[in-house]
Amino acid sequence: MFNVVCGDRDTGRALVAHPTPQLVSITGSTRAGKEVAAAVAPDLKRTHLELGGKAPVVVFDDADLAAAAEAIAVGGYFNAGQDCTAATRVLAGPAVYDDFVAALVEQARGTKTGAPDDEDVLYGPLNNVNQLARVTGFVDRLPDHASLGIGGARVGDRGYFYSPTVVSGVRQQDEIIQDEVFGPVITVQRFSDEDEAVRWANGVEYGLSASVWTKDHGRAMRMTRRLDFGCVWVNTHIPFVSEMPHGGFKHSGHGKDLSMYSLEDYTRVKHVMHNWG
């Protein structure tokens, strides 16, 4: 049986708190996940939480910058950045930082937002007026040391379209680095060495996805081991296959979608033993 119950937040809260459901699965913000976890705690219900993300994209000095800039722009701007795995937090090596920022700005300049019937459009509007205000607020509150390379404005006066945006010069504790924007805004930080890149990449409350861009296989293996994220790509970002799990750590929630692991999350294991003697 597949049953769809339409309603508002009160409807959702009633469903979650009802004694009949034995598992609650939610895809949403960390705040929403915490509220669901608190609501089901009295009944000790199981939860499957797929929450926010702040994916680090670590671009080393030996990376193919043109390929990286193109793929990261797509991975950061598709669906107007409204994806928990979006490639919106770039950490670039010291030798390529300036060139990468320039390449990413060029990619943003060639990226178009608008109505879906326009074949040249990569992404459409933000979901609602509140989300438009949220994204706008992050950019409007940028600290003085940050630099707006391109974008940072609403597009048109109808709908909730926001321009592809690149912000550089940001620091690790800045709001736009620590919090999920969920919009078409890509930030770029300059790291000094591999250890600092790992420390900054892991230095957020989320742990959903990440990517590493390098031609050095040994470095790629070290980074994939050290990055504390549920999915780590090398020289790509975003592609999923049904055979591999999707899910995160820390405030990105727990539980897996896709693969056999997801069946374990949605299954109750029952052990039955008979003695026929």
Catalytically annotated residues: 50
Distance CA(38)–CA(90), nearest Å, equals 34
Distance CA(33)–CA(101), nearest Å, equals 34
The tokens 């939610």 sit on which residue? 26
Q: Is 91 left (phi over 0), alpha (psi -120 to 50) or beta?
A: beta
Phi, psi for residue 36 in degrees, rounded to 5: -65, -45
Distance CA(97)–CA(248), nearest Å, equals 28
| Strand pairing report for 231-234 and 209-213 | parallel
The edge-to-edge listing of strands for the beta sheet with 165-168 is 147-150, 165-168, 185-190, 89-92, 56-59, 209-213, 231-234
